[in-house]
Copies of this chain bind each other. A is one copy, B any other.
């Protein structure tokens, strides 16, 4: 089977780009990723674009051809959407396209614009990822849905709000040196516990922000890497996706995420990697509880024991498995459609030693990205491995 290498990566700063359009942000990251790959836009055989809320935030659907033009690419251009997992799902389609021999070089990226929306409009836009009929219509918001999951977790297991708070503290600390992160300020546990409650038990600092931003990758077959003598130290060794019922009420448990478990199992099987082989991970921490459920689903902690991982240092920068060294969605920011792509961009930089936080993970060779959609009705897990 064709091996898939990452030959280029680029992202904007995450934060407030209210004066930019999505296409303008994407143009930037496409150019950076192609420059990083030492490839011209002519080399691109296919483009996958991930976005979530463009219909409401920019009154724009059919964005893939628009992004192809913005990138100077003349190739089939397709949008992939899986709510907050859109980026991961787009990366997976890019990998599939190369493995099928449909494309040798794929540009995959996402962009999202959210900060210009009012809070009610942003809440409406994000609610599109929940089940309109059985959740949104009766008033469920995304913070509300994750609060239900957090409440269930705290009631079922030996964990408390302070455990959640440590996730936010860790991710803010990680973002301090990441010049592309939205929030580069350290916070402490008291800040989190004393912040306004958004949806009990989740407070303001348990929640990721609204973010504008874009990220892109250039992927290529190993044949192209050889024939063009490209620098491509990292491969996507395995990628898995899974889905679950969209509404929480239809799940067996509110505090387990079988889609993450299944996606991870598929990615591990495809790559021959086991959880204990993973050196660092970027996981989907849209809320603090989400990171805890993610590391349990990924096999980095037993079910019910992930709550203490940030608090006891397991997942901090100096821990055995640093999680969200970029700052995560919590502090780096969460431009929805770009997030899953940006996780891979950050991992490549960390694994190749060009990230501000790379010193925390010297000699690392295996990174994992975990991207979730909705309340983990979609999950995509990628295993990255240094091969050169």
Contacts and interface: CB of A to CB of B under 8 A. Distances in A.
A43 interface: no
Interface stretch (A131-139, A148-156, A202-210, A225-233): A131-139
A74 B64 CA distance: 28
B76 A129 contact: no
B61 A129 contact: yes
A21 B129 CA distance: 17
A25 B222 CA distance: 43
Contacts of A60: 128, 131-132
A224 interface: no
A81 B79 contact: yes
Contact of A245 (B59, B69, B76): B69
A323 interface: no
A243 B74 contact: yes
Contacts of A127: 59
A33 interface: no
Nearest to A270: B102
A247 to B, nearest CB: 9
Contacts of A75: 242-243
Nearest to A379: B76
Interface stretch (A93-101, A305-313, A350-358): A93-101
Interface residues of A, number: 58
A136 B59 CA distance: 9
A347 interface: no
A243 B70 CA distance: 13
A76 B241 contact: yes
B101 A65 contact: no
Interface in A89-118: 89, 92-93, 96-97, 99-102
A5 to B, nearest CB: 16
Contacts of A92: 76, 78
Contacts of A263: 76
Given A61-B83, A76-B263, 6 more contacts: A55-B61, A55-B128, A64-B243, A69-B250, A96-B100, A97-B100
Interface of A: 1, 21, 23, 47, 52-53, 55-56, 58-62, 64-66, 68-69, 74-83, 89, 92-93, 96-97, 99-102, 127-133, 136, 240-246, 250, 263, 373-374, 377-378
Closest 10 CB pairs of A and B: A100-B100, A61-B128, A76-B241, A62-B83, A99-B100, A55-B55, A65-B243, A77-B243, A65-B377, A62-B129
